[in-house]
Homo-oligomer: A and B are copies of this chain.
């Protein structure tokens, strides 16, 4: 599988991602970037989950650096912080505005398809203010079998 040309390209996705935002590609940041965007798909992580994933691959990154790095990626516009749970921060590699599913049973956060939410009209701001973002979180309960 390492011969698959797609994988060869993917190996550079993380580096490209970092350079697109002029973020210094250090060893740790490359390792984390690879975990985040290495396969071209979107990720939703917490600092702890990313730290665990990095440790699993043998990467040598401290938890504090994971926190600092996620902040840096957000500041650089590479990721978005999503607030759904008062005691944990989620970070999303997808930076456009889109709805989320929050699986209450597991605490997992995933993208909702755009089709899941349709506004009849754009949400309105009160006078003297402008909408900076609209967060939509669809909280999901496991189907209880009736």
Q: Could you list which residues of chain A lie within 8 angstroms of chain B, going by C-beta atoms?
A: 81, 83-86, 88-89, 99, 101, 103-104, 112, 115-121, 123-126, 128-143
Contacts and interface: CB of A to CB of B under 8 A. Distances in A.
Interface SS of A by simple majority: strand
Given A83-B83, A86-B81, A130 B140 contact: yes
Contacts of A124: 115-117, 138
25 contacts: A81-B86, A83-B83, A83-B84, A83-B85, A86-B86, A101-B125, A101-B129, A103-B129, A112-B123, A116-B124, A117-B119, A118-B119, A118-B120, A119-B119, A124-B138, A126-B140, A129-B143, A130-B140, A130-B141, A130-B142, A131-B141, A132-B139, A132-B141, A134-B138, A135-B137
Given A83-B83, A83-B85, A119-B117, A131 B138 contact: yes
Contacts of A135: 84, 135-137, 139
A136 B134 contact: yes
A140 B134 contact: no
A143 B120 CA distance: 24
Top 10 nearest A-B pairs (CB, nearest first) are A118-B120, A132-B141, A129-B140, A135-B137, A133-B139, A120-B120, A116-B124, A132-B139, A86-B89, A117-B123
Contact of A143 (B85, B101, B119, B130): B130
Max chain B CB contacts within 10 Å: which of A84, A85, A139? A139
